[in-house]
Structure 1
Amino acid sequence: MTTETPADATAAKSGNAATDSFRNSGKLGSIATSTERVNMLASKLVKAANDIILEERVSYDEFNALKAWLIKVGDDGEWPLFLDVWLEHSVEEVATDHREGNKGSIEGPYYVPEAPSQNTPATISMREDEKGTNLLFQGQVRSTDGSALKNAKIELWHADEEGFYSQFAPGIPEWNLRGTFIADEEGNFQINTMQPAPYQIPTDGACGQLIVAAGWHAWRPAHLHLKVSAEGHELLTAQLYFPGDAHNDDDIATAVKPELMLDVHPAASGNGKQVTYDFVLDPVK
């Protein structure tokens, strides 16, 4: 008998997990779009594809290869991965360009709601022998007028030192490196976690096949995922990055923004590193 470890995390396993997670998220068909808008968007998409075919003189061999690849994307459960890596950054930009507070970033395919909640200061759920560098993540949540947002909620999740996410790779405890944290009366929070590692998106499935065929790389820089919320304010979804990462400038998901870069220092305790990052949320209008 063999025991699965995180190294067994294949594209099919993580892709199917991401697909199931999206199906269960409540986002599927959650808003009604008018016939006129569907017609406009679909017509533009089809026209753009046909323009490329004509301009680049796409052959039947290439057309059939595309058919086979699109089928494989579905078979591998990688539609969430494909859309989140190559398209979501533009959707996020449209959705948040009105904000005066913090810049956000993409959610990505590996968010799981209702992670265990605790008041801060707190330590995220992790294995007793969790590998990596200790990271103290702290800051304050405020409104755009500068007022502190008491009891703001900070959802935090990230990859482990091997680049794997709990619930999307086997052999990892369910809520490992995932948690919901409640800030204090002054909006301050302090969370002990581990510094995540950069990682490659799954490369043994359809998305990996595209990456190899196009001569791209599959790397995402190390990052923390966050959802920050407070009563009467818009939800902020963000990723925070570490300076010096080799792929900050060519992230495959095009999600890095200068405003999302952390300022990392040695921890005052002498154990690991610490970062301070304040969140400014926009009031709901």
Structure 2
Amino acid sequence: MHREKRSREFYILAIFFALFVLFLYGPMSAILILAFQGPNGGLTFPLNGVSVHWFVNLFEKQAVGDFGGSFRRSLFLGLMVMVVTVLVSLLAGLAFRRKFIGATPLFYLSVASLVVPSIIISLGIGVLFSQLGLQPAWYSSGFGAHLTWTLPFGVLIMFAVFNRFSPAYEEAARDLGASSWQTFYHVVLPMIAPSLVGVGLFGFSLSYDEFARTLMTSGTYNTLPLEIYGMTTNVTTPVLYALGAVTTFFSFLVISVTIGSIMLINRRRMRA
């Protein structure tokens, strides 16, 4: 009787999980399939032939939209945000271990932007730049707006990492004559390296697909999310689906590289 009950629960959970996966990836699957429409295909089913015509067309000059330029801007912006997020989060994690004066107010201030609606932050930064007589741009005001989104996540992750980091390893290194820098470089950094890779992934991915905080701060040139939004109102060919397929593949590629890096770091640490 007990085994039958567990079996019933298993099937219920399996059905629920299958529905969840279908709800999550169903629309994405439709986009991936429609991206392979024939040259005369439209935006809806059924497929009118199968080809890679729209993928080729995507990298040609478009009457509406600038996929190449917007992708490069989002890529560079994501890399900039990733580097700064990792560095600042690491330094913040090390600093907060010292329990300095004003640590608590500073902590709540650093995560306050998670509570404020993203569009309000975007509007505020855009207005501030206008009042200062500065031209908003993706590499200046957009960069700052993205950091208000990624830094709190990075700081919270590093707090969690250092809260369960035993100081015994550092004490042992100092007892063996290591300096503070040597202790950090040879002991602390290798142990927290997988977490730093995770923070970098958070920083890049959150910046790469951020829309609301970029809306009022990107200036003249769009990032990829803004370009895709603009194309949805103007493009009437499956090239839009090809763009969605390419950007999805790129996102999975970044995640795969990150997971591979973490596994490689853990393997080297275990061998050491």
Q: TM-score, normalised by structure 1?
A: 0.25
Greater gyration radius: 2
Higher relative contact order (CA 8 A, sep 6+): 2
Kindly indicate which of the two structures has a greater share of residues assigned to helix. 2
Kindly indicate which of the two structures has a greater share of residues assigned to strand. 1
